[in-house]
Structure 1
Amino acid sequence: MPNKGLTVSLLILLVINALLLAAAWGVFGPEPLAGWMESPREPQRVDQQVRKERMEVVPASAPGASNSTAPRGSLSSVTGVAATKIVAAATGVCLELGGFTPTGARRATEALATLPVEAFEREQQVRWWVHLPAQPTQDNADRKLAELRRRHVTDVAVVTSGTSETQMTYTVSLGLFHERERAERFLETLRGQGVRTAMISDAPRAVSRQWLRVRRVDETARAQLEDVKRKFGAEDLQACALAS
C-alpha cells in the first residue's frame, strides 16, 4: 500500500508539471488563469467592451450645419465659411443703380460724390408713360413747362409728333416706367405738387436710361445708394459682377 500511494503521488506531480510546462509554452493562451484567479484588468475590459479600432473622433459641425455634408475629420466645412465671410468683408460687392433720366443721373452722381461712381447707359423696355395732354403749339408746351417749374417739377421733356408743321403736337413727358405701380405712385406725387392734368398712357417702347455702378460696396455705401434710389427716382438697385 505505501508503494502504491507513492506511485499515485508521483503521477499527480508529473501531470501537474506537464500542465505547468504547457502553460509556460503558451498552449493555453497568454494568461490562462486570468479568468479564474483575478478580475480582468482595465485594458482587457476596454477591449471586451469596445473594439478600439472602431472608435473615431468626429469634429463638431458648425451651428446649423449638417454632418452629412462634410467629410469626417475635416475642418474645411467650418473654416471655409469663416474664410468666405472674411473675403466678402474685405472686397465688398458691386452694385448698379439705374433707370434714371439724364437729370436724375446727374443729381444722383452729385449725391454720391464720395463714392467711385461709374456712369453708363443701358437700353430698357418701358411701357407706362406719365405725361401732360398734348398741346397744339410749341408756345402752349412752353407755358406748361413754366408752370411745372413753378411747382418744382423740372425733370421733364417735350415730345413732338406729327408728319407736318400743321399737324404737329407737343407733349410734355414727365416719366417712363416699366411697372404700372411705379407710374401710379409717381402720378400721386405729381398731384401732391399741384399737377392735376397728368395722366398715364400704355405706350411700350425702348429707351436709353442712365445707370451708375459702384464697385467694392460696403454697408455704408449700400445705405447711401438706397437713399439715392428713394430720392431721385431710380427704378433698380441690383448686383453686378466684380472685375476679376
Structure 2
Amino acid sequence: MTAPGQPARPRSPRIVPLLLLLANAVLLGAVLGVFGANPLAGWFETPREPQRLQQQVRGERMRVQAPASAPAAGAAPRSALPSATLAAACVEIGGFSAQAARRATEDLAAAALRVEAFARQEQVRWWVHLPAQPTREHAERKLAELRRRNVTEYSLVTAGTPEAPTYTVSLGLFRERERAEQYLDTLRGYGVRTAMLTEAARPLTRQWLRVRDADHAARARLEAMRQRYGAEDVLACS
C-alpha cells in the first residue's frame, strides 16, 4: 500500500508480460488447429482456391483432364491425305477380245500405269454384231465402213455351209444384256446404225487386264476404255 499523500506507482510493467504470454498462447493454439484450418479467412482475406472450387455451383464437373495424346511427328490425319491416295485401288477390266486387250494395254502403258494381262473363262450370252453378209466382199465393205467411223474392235465370223457361207461382223460378246445394250448405244454414237443384239449363249475365254494403284483419274480412263473397246466390266481385284 502507498502511504497517504504519496503518488500511485504505474502498473504497466506487470501487464505487458501477461499480454505477451496471452498472445503466445493464442498463436500456439492457431498453429495446433484449435481455431480451425483457416481461422482468419473470413476476416482478412478472400477464400483460397480449394475453398473457391467447393463453393462453385456443380463444382464436381470442374476437373482438369489430361490432354489428348498428340499424333506422332510427321503423321498426317487420314482426312488430310490427298483424295487420290485414298481412292487408289487395284482394278480389273475385262471381257476383251485378244485384239482389244492389246490395244487397251498399249493405252494404259502410255499413261504410265502398271498393267497385268490374264485370261478368264466366261459364259457369254449376248452378241452384238452386224447383219450377216452373203459374200466376203460385202463383209469387207462393212469393215471398211467401221474403220472410217473409228470402230476398230471387231472380228469376222464365217458360218453356213461351204456351198452357201455367210459372213458376220462380230462387235462384242457380253454376259449381261444391260452391258450389251450400253455398248450398242455407244456404237450408234459412232454412227453404226445397223448393229443388232442376239442371244447366243456359249463358253468363251476372254482377256482381262489388272491395273494396280489406280486412282480416280485412272479409273475414269478405264471406264472410257470399257465403252470404247467393248469390255464388259470394271471391277475391284478379286
TM-score normalized by structure 2?
0.64
Which residue matches 1:240? 237
TM-superposition CA deviations, 1:103-148 (whole Å, max 9, x none) = 211221222232332111122333222234567xxxx352443132
Q: In 2, Cα distance between the equivalents of 1:108 and 1:35? A: 89
Q: In 1, Cα distance between the equivalents of 2:186 and 2:31? A: 105
SS in 2 for 1:151: helix
Q: How many Å apart are 1:231 and its aligned residue?
A: 2.3
Consecutive unaligned residues in structure 2, runs of 5 or more: 1-14
Which residue matches 2:155? 156
Q: In 1, Cα distance between the equivalents of 2:185 and 2:224? A: 20
Consecutive unaligned residues in structure 1, runs of 5 or more: 1-8, 59-72
Which residue matches 1:54? 63
Which residue matches 1:24? 31
Q: In 2, Cα distance between the equivalents of 1:212 and 1:223? A: 15
Task: Please point out which of 20, 45, 53 is paired with 2:52.
Answer: 45
1:89 aligns with 2:96: no
Q: In 2, Cα distance between the equivalents of 1:225 and 1:188? A: 18
Equivalent residue letter for 1:130: V
TM-score normalized by structure 1?
0.63
Q: 1:80 to 1:207 in 2, by over 3 A?
A: farther
Equivalent residue letter for 1:34: A
TM-superposition CA deviations, 1:200-227 (whole Å, max 9, x none) = 2223333222111222334554444344
Q: 1:182 to 1:225 in 2, by over 3 A?
A: closer
Equivalent residue letter for 2:64: M
Equivalent residue letter for 2:43: W
Q: In 1, Cα distance between the equivalents of 2:192 and 2:219? A: 33
Q: In 2, Cα distance between the equivalents of 1:84 and 1:188? A: 41
Identity, in percent, stands at: 50
Report the count of equivalent residues.
209
Q: 1:233 to 1:75 in 2, by over 3 A?
A: farther
Rg comparison, structure with higher value: 2
Q: In 1, Cα distance between the equivalents of 2:108 and 2:123? A: 26
Q: Is the 8 A contact 2:128 2:173 kept in 1?
A: yes
Q: 1:83 to 1:208 in 2, by over 3 A?
A: same
When the two chains are superposed, the root-mean-square deviation of aligned CA atoms in Å is 4.3
Equivalent residue letter for 1:177: F
